[in-house]
Amino acid sequence: MITVKAKPSRESVNRLFSVTAPPKRTIAAFSVLLLIMLTALVMSIVYYKKGRGDLIFVVCGTVLVCAAVIFMVRILRYPARRFRVLQKTAPDMVQSFAFSEEICSVRTECTGINAHSEQSYGTVRRAVYKEGWFVLIFGSGNGISFHENSFTNGTPQQLSAILREKLGRKYRVK
């Protein structure tokens, strides 16, 4: 049995969100949209200054660009915000993970929360081992992340071997 005990950190939250692909796609789509919005705004200002455009389109462009920038900043700062809220609401949170041949279990403890779950490896949607960090994303959308220094029993190589055997192509070492 491999056991891990970890306290959520800014890095662990960042690692968790770095694995989930949809935010990256959203950022890429909004970057393109923001570029088009900026072009439209610049054109509206030029037309307005030449007396060929309407003020409403300058206002419309400004509002659009501001809204897109706020949305982008919120997406980019989401992991940091999640960690800040976590620190504020559960500063004493400790998570213990146990990996056996058949199941992986997660125990979360802090003031007001005592949660324990056991899941078979069939519920793991994706797992990544990168730069000393393990990240596992479950089918529910929730995930766990921990550093290789957090092992209390077993070694990262042993866990890596179990994940490779149980998850196959869903597990990647980067």
Partner 1 sequence: MVKANVKYDIKVHSAAVKSSLQYRFYRVLAVLGAVEFILVSFAAVISAYSKHRLTADLILYLSIFFGIFIGSVLKLLFMNPVRSFRKLSACYPDLKYEVVIGGENIEYRAVSANSKENSVYSASRLVSARETMGYFKLNISQAESIFFSDTDITEGNADELRKYLSNTLGNRYTVKEGWI
Residues near partner 1 (CB under 8 A): 29, 33, 36-37, 39-40, 43-44, 47, 52-53, 57, 60-61, 64, 82, 85-86, 89-90, 111-120, 122-123, 125, 138-140, 142
Shortest gap between Cβ of 2 and partner 1 (angstroms)? 19
**Nearer to partner 1 among residue 85 and residue 132 (C-beta):** 85
Virtual torsion, Cα 140, 153, 132, 100, nearest 10 deg: -40
Q: Can you give the length of the chain in residues?
A: 174
Closer by beta carbon to partner 1, 112 or else 168: 112
- Beta-sheet pairing, 103-110 with 133-138: unpaired
Task: Tell me whether strands 171-173 and 124-130 are parallel, antiparallel or unpaired.
Answer: parallel
User: Between 142 and 153, whose beta carbon lies closer to partner 1?
Assistant: 142
- Residue pair 66/83 in contact by the 8 Å Cβ criterion: no
Smallest distance from partner 1 to CB 160, Å: 22
Q: What are phi and psi of 9, to 5 degrees?
A: -130, 170
Nearer to partner 1, 8 or 156 (CB): 8
